[in-house]
């Protein structure tokens, strides 16, 4: 008999031995706890409730329920993040080119966030930040800032129309 064939038989024998050990352990557990192995008397079923009973920890159903709760929590948190972005580039002054000035709106799903603006000239640059609540700002917005905000408002309206 070749050594390769002998090795294959050895691995198969080891597999059968491990399988037998697993079955033996399960049989011992069933004998040591007769309450688990004996069929339980029928219990009257309670009235159906809105919430389902919690599944046993470690089961697939319990893990799935936990993941569903985590996903719902994460979705709620994502709605509050600044995830929507619109940038408007422009020349603030006639003497410079390349559209180096810009206004950027960063908003969450509710239209809350900030509008950032950088106005650049040959000699200096100025930056501004204005708070936004519900797609509007208490501060006076420049036409470019308003354009960035309007872009996101239109996107949000298009998204909510598509969802219904």
- Say if 155 falls within a structural domain: yes
How many structural domains compose the chain?
Answer: 1
Q: Which residue has the higher pLDDT, 32 or 34?
A: 32
Any domain includes 135: yes
Asked whether residue 131 is assigned to any structural domain, the reply reads yes
Q: What is the mean pLDDT of residues 148-159?
A: 89
Q: Which residue has the higher pLDDT, 83 or 136?
A: 136
Give the model's pLDDT for residue 103.
95
For residue 9, tell me if it sits in a domain.
Answer: no
37: confidence class by pLDDT, cuts 50, 70, 90: very low
At residue 56's C-alpha, the angle toward residues 69 and 58, to 5°, is: 75
Does residue 138 lie within any of the structural domains? yes
User: Which stretch, 1-5, 19-23, 25-29, 155-159, has highest mean pLDDT?
Assistant: 155-159
Lowest mean pLDDT among 31-45, 115-129, 134-148: 31-45
* Percentage of the chain modeled with pLDDT above 70: 64
Domain assignment of residue 121, yes or no: yes
- The domain in which residue 149 lies consists of 81-163
Closest CA to 103 of 81, 126, 82, 83: 126
Give the burial string for 47-78 (b: 16+ CB within 10 Å, else e): eeeeeeeeeeeeeeeeeeeeeeeeeeeeeeee
Task: Tell whether 21 is covered by a domain.
Answer: no
Edge to edge, what strands does the sheet with 125-132 contain? 84-90, 101-107, 113-120, 125-132
Whole-angstrom CA distances from 69 to 3, 49, 51, 90, 97 are: 55, 19, 14, 45, 52
pLDDT at 151 > cutoff 60? yes
* Domain assignment present for 95: yes
C-alpha span between 96 and 100 (Å, rounded):
8
Q: Which of 44-53, 72-81, 133-142, 154-163 has the highest mean pLDDT?
A: 133-142
- Mean of the per-residue pLDDT values for the chain? 78
């Amino acid at each position: 008999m070749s050594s390769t064939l002998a090795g294959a038989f050895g691995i198969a024998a080891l597999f059968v031995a491990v399988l037998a050990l697993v079955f033996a352990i399960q049989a011992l557990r069933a004998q040591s706890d007769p309450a688990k192995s004996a069929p339980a008397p029928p219990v009257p079923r309670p009235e159906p409730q809105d919430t389902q009973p919690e599944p046993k920890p470690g089961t697939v159903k319990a893990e799935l329920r936990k993941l569903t709760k985590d996903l719902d929590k994460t979705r709620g948190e994502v709605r509050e993040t600044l995830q929507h972005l619109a940038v408007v580039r422009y020349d603030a002054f006639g003497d410079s080119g390349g559209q180096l000035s810009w206004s950027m709106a960063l908003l969450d799903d509710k239209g809350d966030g900030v509008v950032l603006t950088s106005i650049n000239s040959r000699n200096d640059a100025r930056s501004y930040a204005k708070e936004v609540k519900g797609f509007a700002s208490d501060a006076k917005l420049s036409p470019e800032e308003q354009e960035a905000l309007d872009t996101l408002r239109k996107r949000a309206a298009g998204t909510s129309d598509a969802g219904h």
